[in-house]
Amino acid sequence: MGHEMSSSGNSSTVPDSLISADDGRRYWSGIDADVNGMLGGYPGVSRIDLRTSGSFLAKLGLGRTKGQKNVKRAVEGGAGIGRITQGLLLEVAETVDVVEPIAKFTAALEGRPGVGRIYNVGLEEWRPEEGATYDLVWNQWCVGHLTDLQLAAYLRRCGAALSVGDDGKTKGVIVVKENLSTAGRDLFDELDSSVTRQDETFRQIFEKAGLSIVRTELQHGFPEDLYPVRMYALRPKKT
């Protein structure tokens, strides 16, 4: 599910307490299943968004090695119409599972080569299949629809499903790419019932989820009237 990109919104003392999954899904059910709808009227940012994300993955060693995809299985959380699945993840991964509560968005992904399981549920409800492991879990412009507690729990589940190398160390990685509030507080958006978080809030949630930031970068090249966007690559803390 895409997230409203422009920097408008109202504040509240505890913004995430105002989130309503029903209100959010009602909003997105009325949005067109195309790139313009997913990107809140800014379809032109898609190309640079995907290019920057691909570069970020390459710096993490995810992509292609000698022409071969080195990501066996990925999952996109809040995938919407699969803009990122089709424009990036299928370029680097053999199989991509999709989590997206709005079924009309994922209809075009049914039966597409490389697309694995399609889960039409919210991230707060999604559970990886028993025994499933992922080299990459991608989340972009969607986690604002989860409360802080839901997001920490979701990320913890994702961390437990990451692939492990022959050396016993976690090999897989979680990526969160989201808008950042620069207002000195988290902002609630009544339009789609979501929260735009500060960098500080994200870092606190990652800590609660038992995750460490292994790499983070700001997105460059977007129009100035949009929120800043940051990418975080996460792995479970070493025990």
Q: Kindly compute the dihedral angle of the four CA atoms of residues 236, 99, 220, 207, in this order, to the nearest 10 degrees.
A: -30
Q: d(Cα 191, Cα 8) in Å, to the nearest integer?
A: 10
Q: d(Cα 152, Cα 171) in Å, to the nearest integer?
A: 20
Give, for 215, the enclosing helix (H) or strand (E): strand 211-218
Q: d(Cα 151, Cα 86) in Å, to the nearest integer?
A: 25
Question: Residue-wise pLDDT tens for the chain (239 aa)?
Answer: 444 455 444 444 688 888 778 777 777 677 766 777 666 767 789 999 999 999 999 999 998 888 899 999 999 999 999 999 999 999 999 999 999 999 999 998 999 999 999 999 999 999 999 999 999 999 999 999 999 999 999 999 999 999 999 999 999 999 999 999 999 999 998 888 899 999 999 999 999 999 999 999 999 999 999 999 999 999 999 85
Q: Which domains, from first to last, does the chain contain?
A: 10-236 (3.40.50.150)
